[in-house]
């Protein structure tokens, strides 16, 4: 197994619609020494925003992490009615997993303000990750148009480039829920020095979690345990969540497996070398009657615009899983010997 390179720690702010694979992404961030998690924004998407917020708070508490503020975002997209995906992520967003009601409360300020506060607190340093609809980030840009200059890096899970959609024949879920927000975020990064990294389904659907990989995670987390009992608290929650996600993918005719979209974004945010990207101008279809929410990369310069995003086009899934499993299993092992860890 390849040893995971560990770079310097960076302040990280993550915007999620937790969501089974968002939860897996959070677990990866909790487990990663390069991530100094300074805040979590909750976005309406896979489930309603209050469920998302509850899931984020509950996951932090499950993992004994204090000092990471969680903020509630807008209840609805910028201009479209909210759609949610309980069929994909379960009634509360975490599949079959059940977490106790969290004791902590969300911040008094909203998720858009949380983005701005985090960027101002760490100018030029903050690594931003968005694995849900971009509603909060678009609203944050209205309050602070200089966000693209203030961030060190932005990694977005969303879109689908020269590839099928998962919500309509051509549109990916995060973009499809709030196409206007996506369009505004892409546009805002046009003059940024650091191009955002955009990971669409063309890339993330190559990263396939299987029951065998999930068993490997459980075994590495707790080599002594009977695997069927899943005694480790974090692994039990992730396994119960993933079981629902596997079943959903199977119901779609894809097999008993699941695409780990959001953990790839988390991993790439901490180590962009994990993916190969191609620069391109990107945009979102807002008006097409059949194609609303479709993302387009202008690889050939037809629009005459400078490239303003780096589109992920290749990843080594085995390298990703080696790193994911090593880190999350190691972190889960520590939870068996509880003791609060303060990320503030």
Rule CB under 5 A: is residue 19 a binding residue for Ca ion? yes
Q: Binding to ligand BDR by residue 283, rule CB under 6 A?
A: no
Peptide bond just before 34 cis, omega within 30 deg:
no
State in angstroms the smallest separation of the CB of 19 from ligand BDR.
4
* CA dist., res. 85 & res. 35, Å (int): 29
Could you tell which of ligand BDR, Ca ion, none binds residue 182, using a CB distance below 5 to 8 A set by kind?
none
131 binds Ca ion (CB under 5 A): yes
22 binds Ca ion (CB under 5 A): yes
Cα–Cα distance, 39 to 29 (Å, whole number): 11
- CB-count burial class (<10 Å; 0-12, 13-18, 19+) for 31: buried
Identify residues 249-268 at the interface with Ca ion (CB under 5 A): 262
Q: Which is nearer to ligand BDR, 122 or 128 (CB)?
A: 128
b/e for 190-220, b at 16 or more Cβ within 10 A?
A: eebeebbbbbbbbbbbebbbeeebbebbbeb
Which residues inside 182-221 make contact with ligand BDR, applying CB under 6 A? none
| Cβ nearer to ligand BDR, comparing 258 with 325 | 258
Angle of CA points 291, 87, 100, to nearest 5°: 130
Closest CA to 26 of 63, 74, 54, 75: 63
Work out the burial of residue 83: count CB atoms within 10 Å of its CB; fewer than 13 is exposed, 13-18 middle, 19 or more buried. Answer: middle
Stretch that binds ligand BDR, among 15-23, 138-146, 184-192, 327-335 (CB under 6 A): 15-23
Q: Which does 48 bind (CB under 5 to 8 A by kind): ligand BDR, Ca ion, none?
A: none
Contact 293, 171 (CB under 8 A): yes
Q: Would you count residue 46 as binding ligand BDR (CB under 6 A)?
A: yes
93's torsion region: left (phi>0), alpha (psi -120 to 50) or beta? left
Question: Given the rule CB under 6 A, which of 17-25, 135-143, 297-305, 322-330 is the region that contacts ligand BDR?
Answer: 17-25
Check: CB of residue 249 under 8 Å from CB of residue 256. yes
CB of 258 to Ca ion, least distance (A): 13
Q: What does 173 bind: ligand BDR, Ca ion, none (CB cut-off 5 to 8 Å by kind)?
A: ligand BDR
Strand boundaries in the chain, DSSP class E: 10-16, 35-42, 65-66, 70-72, 126-130, 151-157, 197-199, 208-209, 258-259, 275-284, 295-298, 309-315, 341-342
* Number of residues forming the site for Ca ion (CB under 5 A): 6
Note whether 131 binds ligand BDR by CB under 6 A. yes
Among residues 88, 136, 232, 295, the one that binds ligand BDR under rule CB under 6 A: 88
Q: Which of residues 49-78 bind ligand BDR (CB under 6 A)?
A: none
Q: What is the DSSP letter of 166?
A: S
Quick one: which of 153, 243, 261, 323 contacts ligand BDR (CB under 6 A)? 261
Partner residues linked to 115 by β-bridges: none
Q: Rounded to an integer, what distance in angstroms lies between the CA atom of residue 204 and that of residue 211?
A: 18
**Catalytic: which of 261, 302, 308, 337?**
261
Q: Which of 42, 55, 135, 166 binds ligand BDR (CB under 6 A)?
A: 166
Alpha helices in 64-110 (DSSP H): 86-89
Q: Which of 90, 95, 132, 200 binds Ca ion (CB under 5 A)?
A: 132
Nearest residue to ligand BDR, scored by beta-carbon proximity: 173
The binder of ligand BDR chosen from 49, 53, 85, 309 (CB under 6 A): 85
The reply to whether 261 belongs to the active site is yes
Closest distance between Ca ion and the C-beta of residue 21, in Å?
6
Residues near ligand BDR (CB under 6 A) are 19, 21-22, 46, 85, 88, 131, 157, 166, 172-174, 261-262
Residues with catalytic roles: 261
């Amino acid at each position: 197994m390849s040893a995971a390179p560990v770079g310097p720690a960076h302040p990280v702010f993550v915007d999620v619609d937790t969501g089974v694979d968002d939860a897996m992404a959070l677990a990866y961030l909790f487990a990663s020494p390069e991530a100094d998690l300074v805040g979590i924004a909750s976005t309406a998407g896979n489930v309603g925003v209050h469920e998302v917020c509850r899931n984020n708070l509950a996951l932090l508490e499950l993992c004994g992490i204090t000092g990471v503020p969680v903020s509630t975002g807008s209840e609805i997209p910028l201009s479209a009615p909210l759609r949610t995906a309980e069929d994909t992520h379960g009634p509360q967003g975490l599949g079959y997993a059940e977490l106790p009601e969290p004791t902590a409360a969300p911040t008094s300020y909203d998720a858009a303000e949380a983005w701005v506060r985090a960027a101002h607190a760490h100018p030029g340093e903050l690594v931003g990750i968005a694995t849900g609809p971009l509603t909060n980030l678009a609203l944050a840009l209205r309050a602070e148009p200089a966000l693209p200059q203030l961030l060190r890096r932005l990694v977005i899970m969303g879109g689908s480039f020269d590839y099928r959609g998962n919500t309509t024949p051509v549109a990916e879920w995060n973009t499809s829920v709030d196409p206007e927000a996506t369009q505004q975020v892409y546009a805002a990064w046009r003059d940024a020095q650091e191009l955002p990294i955009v990971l669409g389904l063309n890339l993330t659907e190559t990263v396939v979690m299987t029951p065998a990989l999930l068993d490997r995670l459980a075994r590495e987390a707790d080599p002594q345990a009977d695997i069927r009992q899943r005694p480790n608290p974090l692994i039990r929650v992730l396994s119960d969540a993933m079981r629902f996600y596997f079943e959903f993918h199977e119901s779609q005719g894809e097999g008993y497996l699941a695409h780990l979209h959001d953990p790839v974004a988390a991993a790439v945010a901490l180590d962009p070398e994990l993916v190969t990207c191609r620069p391109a101008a990107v945009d979102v279809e807002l008006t097409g009657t059949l194609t609303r929410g479709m993302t387009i990369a202008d690889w050939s310069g037809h629009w005459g615009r400078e490239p303003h995003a780096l589109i992920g086009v290749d990843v080594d899934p085995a390298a990703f899983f080696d790193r994911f499993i090593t880190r999350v299993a190691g972190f889960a092992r520590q939870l068996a010997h509880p003791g609060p860890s303060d990320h503030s």
